[in-house]
Structure formats: C-alpha cells, structure tokens
Amino acid sequence: MILGVGTDICDIRRIEQSIDKFGKRFLNKTFTAEEQGYCEAQARPGMSYAKRFAAKEAVAKALSGPDTGSLSWLSVSIQNDPSGRPVVSLLGDALARSVSLCPSGHVLNLHVSLSDDYPYATAFAIAEAAPSVRQAS
C-alpha cells in the first residue's frame, strides 16, 4: 500500500552557489560522508549534490503527514546500488518516522527516481508499506 509520495525540483546553480559560498559547512550539514564521497567523484559534483538534495526533499514529503515536522538533512541518505539505481537509507528522525507510519506486519520500501537537465535536478519518491514475508519452517 502507498503511504505517501513526494517530488521536488532543485536548481543546480543554487546548490553550486551554496557549495561555493559555504563550502564544507554546507556540505557537512546537508550530505552524509558517503554522499559527499560519491558526489565529489563525479564529473559534475554540483549536479550530483542537487539530485540528492531534491531526493531528500522528495523522501521527506513522502514520509510527511498532517502532524509531522521537518526531518534533519542527514537522516536521509541517498546512495547508488551497483547498477546505479538510487537507494534510500534512513537514520535518526527519518527512521523513527518511517517506523511510526508503517502498519504492523509491514515493512517500508522507499522507491526513488532522480533526473537532471541542467539547470534543474528532480526527484520523485514513493513510500510503500509491503507485507512482511515469513518463511515457513
């Protein structure tokens, strides 16, 4: 069952300006060490950072409800699996929120799609509750 959806668009130039102006202070406040390592290894780091910024916003929207507040930037981390597909990891307040949203007997799956076309980066997220599967003994 779908628990929530979220989408976000981000101006890549704005992220590049924030990196130029605030440097590591901005990066350390917004992106995990793993995200920074990945983005810095790319040909256009600003584009990679912008896609992750948009993804964090999209995931926060997918996990939001009428009584939820904001999530800390570092509680949502976007990595890539070996095929390049974006994968979401939740920590801290985002993990706690996901547990509170997911019905008993279900597990939360987060699906994220990222795209960019300079000067914009976009992300779309779906929070899905899937029944837990128990293997027969």
Tell me the C-alpha distance between 90 and 98, whole Å: 8
Per residue, the 3-state secondary structure of 88-121, as one string, reads EEECHHHHHHHHHHCCCCEEEEEEEEEEEECCEE
- CATH of residue 35's domain is 3.90.470.20
**Is residue 137 in a domain?**
no
Residue with tokens 């981000």: 10
Residue 59: how many CA atoms within 13 Å on its side-chain side?
A: 32
Mean pLDDT over 108-118 rounds to 97
Predicted local distance difference test score (pLDDT) of residue 134:
65
Domain count for the chain = 1
**Is residue 51 in a domain?**
yes
Three-class DSSP category at 70: coil
**Is residue 136 in a domain?**
no
Query: For 75-88, how does the pLDDT look when each residue is reduced to its tens digit (9 = 90+)?
Result: 999 999 999 999 99
**Is residue 118 in a domain?**
yes
Q: Are 131 and 114 in contact (CB under 8 A)?
A: no
**Is residue 65 in a domain?**
yes
Mean pLDDT over 100-119 rounds to 94
**Is residue 29 in a domain?**
yes
Tell me the C-alpha distance between 56 and 132, whole Å: 26
Predicted local distance difference test score (pLDDT) of residue 100:
87
**Is residue 28 in a domain?**
yes
Query: For 43-86, how does the pLDDT look when each residue is reduced to its tens digit (9 = 90+)?
Result: 999 999 999 999 999 999 999 877 777 788 999 999 999 999 99
Predicted local distance difference test score (pLDDT) of residue 136:
55
Domain of residue 80 covers: 2-131
**Percentage of the chain modeled with pLDDT above 70:** 96
Tokens found for residue 6 = 């979220």
Sign of CA dihedral 27, 33, 38, 40: positive
